Amino acid sequence: MVGVEKTMQHVGKVLQNIGICENVYEILIECPKIAEESKPGQFLHIKVNKGIDPLLRRPISISRINRDEGSISLIYQVIGKGTKEMTGFRQGDDIDIIGPLGNGFSIFTGSKCAVVGGGIGIAPLLELASCISDCDAYLGFKCSTFKLGEYKAACRELHIATEDGSVGSMGYVTDLIKNINRYDIIYTCGPKPMMKKVKELCEKSSVKCFVSLEERMGCGVGACLVCACRIKEGDTWHYKKVCADGPVFEAGEVDFDD
């Protein structure tokens, strides 16, 4: 684990850290090594403060990779102590990062793809959508939206649902996906009930589906088992580590009722 940390531990420079909607921030970090090596769907394990509390790093997905400028951007929702600490990062601060971690999304050229994101799950899908030509996006929010402009620029079709109906259709994002069989592959990230529904829709229409999971994490590099989740391989279920074996899995492997 120490060896892994040594090769993957970096110091990034905060270029910007701004609120983009209620309780949601975007942090832009200069770190050429990470920008060069990252792929969509991977995550960073971030030391969120200068002291020791909270002790554990926090996992945040890479949202955009700007290789030319040597920077990456992350979008994070303020949930508890760790993410609250992150809002205190200022331009010019050094930030201690381990990454890029995890396996990321597989991209299949020539396939008809769509991303389905809910809430903060929209963040990790943005770089992916911009890497796939003719990708469609289905995005669901509770009320306030974010990153619609970038999704519009990256995608062929953009479908939006909000629970209060303030933008796009009123309801859940899964209500928007009518003809899922026009896609070869769906990539999804968001609340578990949403991903479960997307998985079921894909299964009914024999569409390949990849999900990006979030579990509480300890080490982030496969050493502590905090992030274990139930995964099916063939006919047998066993546990895999979301940090090292994921966070992206084929939907059919994942037990959302675990």
171-182 in b/e form (b: 16+ CB < 10 A) is ebbbebbeebee
When CB distances are held under 5 to 8 angstroms depending on the partner's kind, the choice from ligand FES, ligand FAD, none that residue 120 binds is ligand FAD
- Within 139-168, which residues bind ligand FAD (CB under 6 A)? none
Q: Give the gyration radius of the chain's Cα atoms.
A: 18
Q: Kindly tell me which of 76 and 138 has the beta carbon lying closer to ligand FAD.
A: 76
When CB distances are held under 5 to 8 angstroms depending on the partner's kind, the choice from ligand FAD, ligand FES, none that residue 222 binds is ligand FES
Q: Does 82 bind ligand FAD (CB under 6 A)?
A: yes
Q: Which residues bind ligand FES (CB under 6 A)?
A: 217-220, 222-227, 241, 243
- Which structure tokens are listed for 26? 């975007």
* DSSP string for residues in 53-66: SS-S-EEEE--EEE
When CB distances are held under 5 to 8 angstroms depending on the partner's kind, the choice from ligand FAD, ligand FES, none that residue 122 binds is none
Nearest-CA neighbor of 121 among 48, 180, 182, 187?
187
When CB distances are held under 5 to 8 angstroms depending on the partner's kind, the choice from ligand FES, ligand FAD, none that residue 137 binds is none
Taking the complex as a whole, how short is the minimal distance between the CB of residue 204 and ligand FAD, in angstroms? Answer: 28
Helix (H, G, I), strand (E, B) or coil at 113: strand
The beta strand positions in 31-108, using DSSP E, are 43-46, 58-61, 64-66, 71-77, 94-101
The residues of the shown chain that bind ligand FAD, judged by CB under 6 A, are 43, 54, 58-61, 75-77, 79-83, 120, 123-124, 214-217, 242, 247
